[in-house]
């Protein structure tokens, strides 16, 4: 009996020793595991994992979890692709956007066949299963690829900071502009909580202005460039708080113009309300000429370049003010501005290649910016004034016929200098595409300004 009892005690000790060895094993494995492969899971979760078979472990997604292509593709509609930022990277960011400890994503998508269509902003919340649930699909919330003017795609950056999604846009030509919009998830929805807008002119370093507004508090800061072209604070204050704009309602047509309610005007030129509504360009040029020659003689071609630049600045500022009053114009005006700038730029290359150079075309191109800004203002004004008597269907059809002829002859243009052939071909293709885009915009609005815009942009001063 004593021998049997002793045998049972020995067996019990052996079994206990084996069980103890099993509980020590995970610790020994960790000691021999490289640091970079250790999952930084809280100690409470580590204890739980040591009691579960490895095949049954279900890892909780962390804020640093990588976003796989398969996961993202489920959020992108058919016919759309992820946009590229100015850096060349995908417009896709990660971060805890709803403050639940799980990484979320935001991405910008665009039509892969039409660069003139506005882009969409998609935001999705991460789940504990590692998947994503769409929080919002903001359709046409972001400027199109072709809406940046000569600078090209205006999509500058998309980041996540201070609990908000920050969108940055930049574009223009002689007149440059930029926007920054801050969106935040609050009260179970997405809202625009802050915006920064600015503009400047390449011909005048002292003309830059910026307006930064906290839409949650109404606080704002205005900045204006000094004589050295450096932006310095010029005004600080508080505006009356308005109801926040939901991201679902945010789009290009609801953007504010790149300036404040107190748009800085150049008082040295006769940019008066009376002058703005003079429909005759020659009369406007005569008024500016008369005013300028009181102090300065217009002698050189560069003097006249500056004159047309001043006219353009006058009407461009007036257009920005008009957009503040009629925000529904923003989307269309932005497109027309962008397309017109690209056409003028392409025309510059075409004229130079066909004619073999020459300074006069450079002056013509420079003045074209001012002329187009004059017509764009009147196009917007007539659009909101609903002046049907201004419709010129016959003139529009005549201009379309001329435009079609120019587009057809584009394929036959030959460079005066062989080394410019590649530049000519690229510019001609861009010209054809942009003119067709402009025609589509104007087809439903055949006002005189639209006729003049087409006429001015499609005409050439040299033979093809």
Q: Determine contact, residues 398/450, Cβ cutoff 8 Å.
A: no
Q: Which residues on neighbouring strands pair with residue 142, listed in sequence order?
A: 119
- Going by their DSSP bridges, the two strands 175-186 and 92-95 should be labelled as unpaired
Q: What is the C-alpha to C-alpha distance for residues 344 and 364, in angstroms, rounded to an integer?
A: 10
Q: What tokens were used for 322?
A: 């008009």
Q: What is the pTM of this model?
A: 0.52
pLDDT in tens, the chain (464 residues): 445 455 555 555 544 554 444 333 333 333 333 323 333 333 333 333 333 333 333 333 343 344 555 678 889 999 999 999 988 999 999 999 999 999 999 999 999 888 878 899 999 999 998 889 999 999 999 988 888 877 788 999 999 998 999 999 998 776 788 999 999 999 999 999 999 988 887 767 777 889 999 999 999 999 988 877 788 888 888 888 889 999 999 975 434 334 434 334 444 456 787 888 887 888 888 888 888 777 666 667 777 888 888 888 888 888 888 887 787 888 888 888 888 888 888 888 887 787 765 556 566 777 888 888 988 998 888 877 765 555 566 667 777 777 777 777 777 778 777 888 888 888 888 888 888 888 888 876 667 788 788 877 876 543 33
Q: What is the C-alpha to C-alpha distance for residues 194 and 361, in angstroms, rounded to an integer?
A: 43
Q: What is the C-alpha to C-alpha distance for residues 174 and 151, in angstroms, rounded to an integer?
A: 10
Q: What is the C-alpha to C-alpha distance for residues 282 and 28, in angstroms, rounded to an integer?
A: 89
Q: Determine the 3-state secondary structure of 278 from DSSP.
A: coil
Q: What is the C-alpha to C-alpha distance for residues 143 and 116, in angstroms, rounded to an integer?
A: 9
Relative orientation angle of helices 301-325 and 281-292, to the nearest 10 degrees: 120
Q: List Cα–Cα distances, 231 to 201, 207, 235, in angstroms.
A: 13, 10, 12
Name the residue with tokens 């300065």: 296
For the chain, domain boundaries: 2-56, 69-254, 273-458
Q: What is the C-alpha to C-alpha distance for residues 462 and 464, in angstroms, rounded to an integer?
A: 6
Cα-flanking dihedrals φ and ψ of residue 59, to 5°?
Answer: -80, 135
Residues belonging to the chain:
464
First to last CA, the chain: 119
Q: What is the pLDDT of residue 257?
A: 38
- Residue in 234, 191, 192, 239 with CA at minimum distance from that of residue 219: 239
Rounded-to-10 torsion of CA 324, 330, 336, 340: 50
Give the distance from CA 284 to its chain's centroid.
33
């Amino acid at each position: 009996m004593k021998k049997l009892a002793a045998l049972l005690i020995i067996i019990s000790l052996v079994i206990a020793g084996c069980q103890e060895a099993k509980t020590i094993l995970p610790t020994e494995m960790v000691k021999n595991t490289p640091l970079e492969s250790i999952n930084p899971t809280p100690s409470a979760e580590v204890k739980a994992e040591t009691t579960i078979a490895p095949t049954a472990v279900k890892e909780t997604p962390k804020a640093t979890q990588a976003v796989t292509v398969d996961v993202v593709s489920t959020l992108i509609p058919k016919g759309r692709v992820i946009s590229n930022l100015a850096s060349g990277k995908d417009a896709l960011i990660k971060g805890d956007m709803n403050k639940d400890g799980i990484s979320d994503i935001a991405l910008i998508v665009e039509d892969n066949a039409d660069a003139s269509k506005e882009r969409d902003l998609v935001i999705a919340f991460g789940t504990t299963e590692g998947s994503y649930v769409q929080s919002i699909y903001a359709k046409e919330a972001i400027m199109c690829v072709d809406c940046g003017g000569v600078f090209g795609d205006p999509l500058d950056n998309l980041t996540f900071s201070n609990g908000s999604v920050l969108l940055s846009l930049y574009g223009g030509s002689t007149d440059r502009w930029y926007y920054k919009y801050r969106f935040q998830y609050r009260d179970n929805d997405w809202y625009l909580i802050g915006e920064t807008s600015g503009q400047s002119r390449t011909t005048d370093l002292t003309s830059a202005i910026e307006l930064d507004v906290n839409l949650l508090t109404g606080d704002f800061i205005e900045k204006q460039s000094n004589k050295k072209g450096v932006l310095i604070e010029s005004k600080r204050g508080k505006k009356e708080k308005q109801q926040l704009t939901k991201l679902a309602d945010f789009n290009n047509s609801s953007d504010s113009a790149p300036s404040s309610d107190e748009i800085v005007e150049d008082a040295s030129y006769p940019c008066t309300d009376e002058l703005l509504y003079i429909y005759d360009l020659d009369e406007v040029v005569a008024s500016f000429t008369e005013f300028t020659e009181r102090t300065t003689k217009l002698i050189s071609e560069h003097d006249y370049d500056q004159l047309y630049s001043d006219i353009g600045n006058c009407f461009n500022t007036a257009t920005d003010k008009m957009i503040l009053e009629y925000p529904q114009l923003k989307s269309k005006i932005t497109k027309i501005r962008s397309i017109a700038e690209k056409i003028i730029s392409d025309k510059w290359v075409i004229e130079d290649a066909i004619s073999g150079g020459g300074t006069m075309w450079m002056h013509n191109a420079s003045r074209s910016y001012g002329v187009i800004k004059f017509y764009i203002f009147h196009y917007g004004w007539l659009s909101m004034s609903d002046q049907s008597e201004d419709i010129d269907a016959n003139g529009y059809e005549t201009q379309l016929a001329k435009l079609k002829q120019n587009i057809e002859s584009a394929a036959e243009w030959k460079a005066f200098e062989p080394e410019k052939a590649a530049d000519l071909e690229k510019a001609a293709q861009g010209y054809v595409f942009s003119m067709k885009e402009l025609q589509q915009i104007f087809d439903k609005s055949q006002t005189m300004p639209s006729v003049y815009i087409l006429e001015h942009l499609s005409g050439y001063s040299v033979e093809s």
